[in-house]
Amino acid sequence: MTEISKREGGFPDRNTGPFRQRMNRLGLKGTLLLGIFVPILIAFLVISVLLFVNVGPLVSIRALGSNSLKELGAASVKESVASLNKLGEKIIQEKAEGVARQIEIFLEAHPGLSESALANQSRLKEIAIQRVGETGYTAVHNNKGINYFHVNPKIVGTDLHKLAGKLPEFVQVMEAGLKGASGGYYQWTDIDGKVRPKYMFSTPVEGTELIVAATTYIDEFGKPAGAFLAKVDRMQAVYAEQYRYRFLIFLAIVLIDLAVLLAVIYAFSSSIVRPIRQLSEAADRISMGDLEATVDVEGEGEVARLGQSIERMRTSVKTALERLENRRPITIRK
């Protein structure tokens, strides 16, 4: 078992431990490259993760910007839809009240009309059935739910209560309007099977048993909000495209920086390692007895001073040996 020396704190001594041994195997150049380049590479990776990647609870800056845009769009659309729906309800209500007032004026101008004669009044039919919004309409029924005027001729003369099986919400809103001015929502299924909400407001015609109902799809009034949402979607698409473009630029810059940095570190480490290797080779030659080996390290700094020290040592050893040779006694053979 290899004994690991301990520092005063009880920690392994890196000068003699496995860590130092691994670093020695790398050599000085490898150690410099590893010690300088790897931390910088890790820093670039951390910055890239923070900018572009979601990790656990951490949200990237890119995702943060996208999410903020989505949240802003969703909040704005929600508020806009709510406001436009309220405005739509008000428009439908005013339409019902306006038609009721027009019918009231018509009946005042034609006193004595019986209920059976109402359906034959073409002018009254024009007043009773008017457009609401893009696809909506007004209709007239009495306080018992019997329809007098409707855009669908098949509904005329029928008891609207009979629709409770197919349209229970509609009948519920209609019954509330039989007791006084009232409005409410109900679901309507289109021909294509799509279910959309409608709003209906009912108001009585003063002095009669007639009730005017105005109804249409409430989402007709929220189309501006839908256009805004589409604009937000386009903004997100532009944002995503800009993100991809900037990410590619960022990636190219990082790769170029890392390549330049690696080249600079390699050149720097080589400028340090090369003279050290020269000194090592010169020291080996001197140790083998080659005192003519020259130590030539240009420049300044620690390595140059080390070279000068080795050169002085070589000169001193050579001079000492020469003096020793000169002091040997001359032996004369007989």
Q: Which of 9, 32, 7, 4 shows the shortest CA–CA distance to 19?
A: 4
- Cβ proximity of 190 and 181 under 8 Å: no
Greater model confidence, 217 or 30: 217
Per residue in 141-156, pLDDT (tens digit) is 999 999 999 999 999 9
The more confidently predicted of residues 292 and 105 is: 105
CATH number for the domain formed by residue range(s) 87-221: 3.30.450.20
Residue with tokens 């080390």: 306
Instruction: Note the pLDDT of residue 65.
Output: 52
- Quick one: average pLDDT of 122-148? 93
User: What is the reported pLDDT for 274?
Assistant: 78
Give the integer Cα–Cα distance in Å for 226 and 78.
Answer: 10
- Whether pTM > 0.75 for this model: the answer is no
- At 177 the pLDDT is 94
How does pLDDT run across 242-295, given as a tens digit for each residue? Answer: 777 777 787 788 788 878 877 887 787 777 777 777 788 888 887 787 777 777
Instruction: Compute the distance between CA of residue 224 and CA of residue 62 in angstroms, rounded to an integer.
Output: 29
Contact 130, 212 (CB under 8 A): no
Average pLDDT over the chain, rounded to an integer: 77
Taking every pair of C-alpha atoms in the chain, what is the biggest distance, in angstroms?
Answer: 175
Q: Where are the domains of the chain?
A: 26-52+237-325, 87-221
pLDDT at 312 (0 to 100): 83
Q: How confident is the model at residue 139 (pLDDT cuts 50, 70, 90)?
A: very high
All residues at 6 or more sequence positions from 111 whose CB lies less than 8 Å from its CB, including other chains: none
Count how many Cα atoms sit within 13 Å of the Cα of residue 10 in the half-sphere of its side chain.
Answer: 0
